[in-house]
Structure 1
Amino acid sequence: MTEISNKDIKQCDVCERNSLLKWKCIDCQLSMCHLCMENIHTKFKLSETHKIISLTGSHERIKPNYCHIHRNQLYCIFCQSCDHLVCPTCLSENHSQHSLTEVEGMVMKIIARIKSFEEQIQNTLIPLCMETLSKISQLQCVEHVRFRSYIGQIMHQEERLFKHIQLHREILLTKLQQKETEIKDILLQKKKTFTINIDKMRQMKMFIDNILQEPGDMDVDYLQRESEEMRKWLSTEMSSPNEQTNQPMLPIFDSMNLNKKLISKMFGFHNSSSELSISFNKSFSLSLPSVTCMKISKNTETIYLWIGCNAAQKIEKYRILPDFKLEQEISDKKVYDMSTTISGDVLFTCSNDTCLYKAKKDGTRKLRSFAPLVPKAVYVNLKDEIHISLQEYGMNKRHSKIVTIDSKDSKEIKHYENGHNKEFFVCVTRITDDSDCLYLVDALSENLEGRIVAITKKDGLLKWAFDGHVERRFPFTPSDLVTTKVNSLVAADVRNNLIYILGNHGTLFQMIDTTKIGLMRPCCVDIDDSNLLWVAFTPTCKTAKTTDIHVFRYE
């Protein structure tokens, strides 16, 4: 029992004489002195079952506090109904029918609760803050590296632009000097011609003067010939001075107005816009229950759409321009991923199949076997190199790697493999690249929850990882990935109805919610030569027999 010293309080409810109250019977609602509790209360019916609480005494661990209402009395008990301490007077006046408990019990509960707070802080909040602090530190490092990289790019762009300006200046000056030399030569020649003509005209004048002075001494025949030649020469030279002055002119230097827009277009600019405008361009409906993968290829002026459908076990090739028409169909293939080649053919992998296949106009053939590993993602880059992800059979297998092979002889050029102390990827379902990095869709679980990772081509190290760290309803589920002409990335998040635009440093530029344009479950993306974004959407109905593909223009 808790004992807290108290004095100068009301009298005992039993004997009504003793004012030194020491006990409170919760069942009888009586405040008693020690004698009444020992000698009288024990004789009450069922008194041994009553709950007795101490009102007086002291306890070393609890500091006594005076009641803020009855300032000469100490708190003696805790009222659970009102959730605060009360003194004996408060107890008899307002709390006699309330749920009461000893102060020490209440203190022990508070201490236990504080200890739980301590455990929560120690075991949850501090580790979480430390993890966040670590991420912030990593972000600081990444941003610092990006900052230095951008500075380097700006300085390099300045050098490149300056070299181009110098080269263009030299070309203009050289052409101008050549033109000036050409004009000088022409003018010197004309000056020489006019000087000769002036001398000739002076001789003619002297001849004329002589004839006029002594016309009888001249031979008539000779005079006839000379006058005729003189007439012809004069008729020619009378029109030639004006023609001779029509000379080639120096080219005019047309200097452009160096406004901010023109300089930004030539030099480059910071792209920090958070708004991306998209608009419908066209749509197609396919007689397929779903789309597993989709690629766009171009042959001269004709655009082709390759569609792989795992559910229907087929690949279809459609001609888009000048009209939409099915041109080729490959059956009995549970396609997993595919990629078009520079020549317009398509490479593809199949579920649980150890071979890489090549489809052409005249049929399909096996390009290479990777047994016992299963090829999954495949991508052919602009250098005609083939990147392929390989996996042990089954999602629970951990061995995975990426190989790069030559498209001509299918020989391995390079490979990227998880080591003993690193695991940069688990199950790569899609691949794309640029000059520096491979970009991967990495599935971390069987339901394809995953992330997008970038590994460097030079040393195969992890550059960054993007796990969709934004507000979303479901876990990040990237289903497809494509690079743009400006080295940004477009990724489809099929479960969250989102399309992400990422920078090649893993920065989120824009997030498009397809439900806002009335479309759900974007599963495949690709970009054509006209910079149009092609998106395939998985039907929401399980019994659907058609699939829609929409083409967007984005800015």
Structure 2
Amino acid sequence: MAYSESIKKSQDILACGLCETDTKIKVKCMDCDLYMCQKCTDKVHAKFKNADLHVIVALKDIHSHTDDTDAESDFKPVKCKDHRKQLCCMFCITCDLLLCPVCIAKTHHLHQMEEIQQFCQKKVEIMKKVQIQTNSKMEKLIENSNIMAEIKKSRSFEIEQNILREETQAKEVQSKCLRLLKEHKEKTETHSELMSRKELEILQDKNDIKTVIQQVENEYKLRNTEEFLAAVRHMHSKLDSIDKSTSKNR
């Protein structure tokens, strides 16, 4: 009896999340986190993308319903910027925007959409793959840089030895040999400085990548949806910039 009175009280207080006028709440969409009247359930929500896959629970069964997603770590809900009483429930891939049910019904119902948690989880998986690929790429770049430095060092030593042997064999070419040796050392120093700068640039890129990935990981841990997506965009922008810079310097 007390439970029935509680349900009736909820119906009297709540308004439909779609029409925002009807207070005779009948169901709740667990995917949209939305209370609805029967009319909006049949006429409006039914037009949502993948609405047939949403979990609709009668209001009287809300307290006994076990949401399978409770065990998962969800991103924090976001209030709609255009409809402050609504929580966003979908991500519009077409417009790159977070949407509430009212946004979907009014403007975005024909757009390509995806449930926010699923969309963010996909970005998390992309982040993990990018981290693995980036670490592998940076290790390869550093390895190649070290190999090039060793080859240049070996060649430099060989050249110096040849020049010194020529100097001992013929005093008449001593002046020429000394000049060649000086020129060679200048080139070697210049090349060494260049290699050092490149190595510093590589290490800086690596640190920058670690920083942006750490930012994404931090936002992922905090489950801040908008900040997480912004951090993901920044990560992709930084990686594109590094790839362009690396390709240009090859």
TM-score for the superposition, normalised by structure 1:
0.22
Which has a greater percent of strand?
1
Bigger radius of gyration, 1 or 2?
1
Determine which structure has the larger helix proportion and give its number: 2
Identify the structure with bigger relative contact order (alpha carbons < 8 Å, sequence gap 6+): 2
